[in-house]
Amino acid sequence: MSSIDLALASGSGSGTGSDEGSDDGASGADASDTVTIEDVTFEANSVATSAPYLTQDGTASGLLPTATLTTLVGRAADMDLTIAPEGDTLVLGGAGSGVLSELGIVVAPGVDDGTLVVDVTELRLGGLSITPDDLPGFLADAVTEQVDGLEVPLDLPEGIELSGVEVVDEGVRVDLTGTDVPIGALAGS
């Protein structure tokens, strides 16, 4: 297995896995509204032998590449930005020019109730590095309000939940768990 394609809703909603060649008409999304989790592996237990081939429980792991993260976090924060993995954190920067392009916001990705979240751990500007706690409250709020605690929707197929994240050089490796999931929802293109 190489990838799972997820349809992104413009608002909230549920996504669908995709089978190569299938068209269930559920999402109506075009390619710009699809997120691909790459390098996917999965393990399914107690798989039914007849359609819809439900797996009683299963796990999967895959890569959200940096470019995909940039799109997802940018949409969730409603801002243009860049993202660079650094150790076990991600460094968000403003796209374009000016002071915001010089600001680096270091975030730690995590999982909260099955949702990808990012929490601000550090701010960087002109070689200086400080934590949000080092700033006066109003200034810390102004700098971090769009990003700290930000929930990044993945719109996973029904029955599949995000269970873990790990920053890697290529982006973020995600761990997924599922119960009573049709194999077709896991079998990507």
Q: What is the pLDDT of residues 80-135, one digit of tens each?
A: 889 999 999 999 987 765 655 678 889 999 999 999 999 999 988 878 898 888 88
| Strand partners for 129 | 124
Q: What are phi and psi of 155, to 5 degrees?
A: 50, 60
How far is residue 72's CA from residue 165's CA, in Å, rounded to a whole number? 15
Rg for the chain (alpha carbons), in Å? Answer: 18
How far is residue 158's CA from residue 147's CA, in Å, rounded to a whole number? 27
**Burial class, 57, CB count within 10 angstroms (exposed 0-12 / middle 13-18 / buried 19+):** middle
Of 71, 73, 79, 158, which Cα lies nearest the Cα of 114? 158
Say yes or no to pLDDT of 20 above 60: no
The residue ranking higher by pLDDT, 132 or 19, is 132
Angle at the Cα of 158 from the Cα atoms of 155 and 162, rounded to 5 degrees: 60
Say yes or no to pLDDT of 169 above 80: yes
Tokens 């200034």 correspond to 139
Mean pLDDT of 131-142: 83
pLDDT number for residue 142? 77
